[in-house]
Amino acid sequence: MNMSKAKRAIGIFDSGIGGISVLKEMHRLFPHEDLIYFGDSKFAPYGEKLRSEIMARCTEICEFLISKGVKAIVIACNTATSAAVDMLRERYPNLPIIGMEPALKPAIQQSRSHYVAVMATPFTLSEKKFSDLMKKHQENNTIIKIPCPQLVQIAEHNELDDIAKIHDQLHQYFDEVDQDKLDAVVLGCTHFIFFKKHIQGILKDSVRIIDGNEGTCRHLMDILRERNEINDAETKGSVMIYNSSKEDDILELSYE
């Protein structure tokens, strides 16, 4: 085992607070790993920015995490993955960098009607990366793309208690979808975990709501296992959270 690297932290970042759900899943599944999270709430949402702007932010955040000595980085953001993962892997060839993509494959596998909706940012849904993913699964399946930029804003503006606003927004997204056929919804943005119970509340009980958090975490650990860089300490790992925004409510949300 590479003891020096095994003891290093794993870096996780997102355009804001959405990736906290990935942080929590990583800590649940692999409690002995030290984790460092960076949320870029000051510059959120990424889904409405130019690719060049997203790439610049991702590079700056990775430099920050690398300065903390991380052994791997998880891009806990579908939009940032679409825009920057290839560039980051080329820039840091010796550092495992794991991205996220909408969990379309498991949704298709679990769907009985083969009628699936994917909620994501406009940027993610318009990118070639997602287009290629859709092409792999379009045969014999109906895949509905639902761009949801407003949900990111609601989360980042700490409006998660405004149930009426959330439900109004969700109805705008889903009222045009064939509710009789729909039986799986993919959460293609880590911010959308905050709205899971509300989404379930306006859809049939039989609809499965699927995210890619666990699969992403396990994929990273498989890579670290191959590199002999798993932290096998018996003590519980530490969790550090940073955010580009200095707003108190954002920091409080991050620790909830």
CA R_g for the chain: 18
CB-based contact 13:76 (threshold 8 Å): yes
Q: Which residue carries 């499965």 as its tokens?
A: 208
Per-residue 3-state assignment (H helix, E strand, C coil) for 83-121: HHHHHHHHHCCCCCEECCCCCHHHHHHHCCCCEEEEEEC
Residues 6+ apart with CB under 8 A from 132: none
Q: Which residues are catalytic?
A: 77, 189
SS3 57: helix
The DSSP code sequence of 130-147 is HHHHHHHH-TT-EEEEEE
Structure tokens at 76: 């806990």
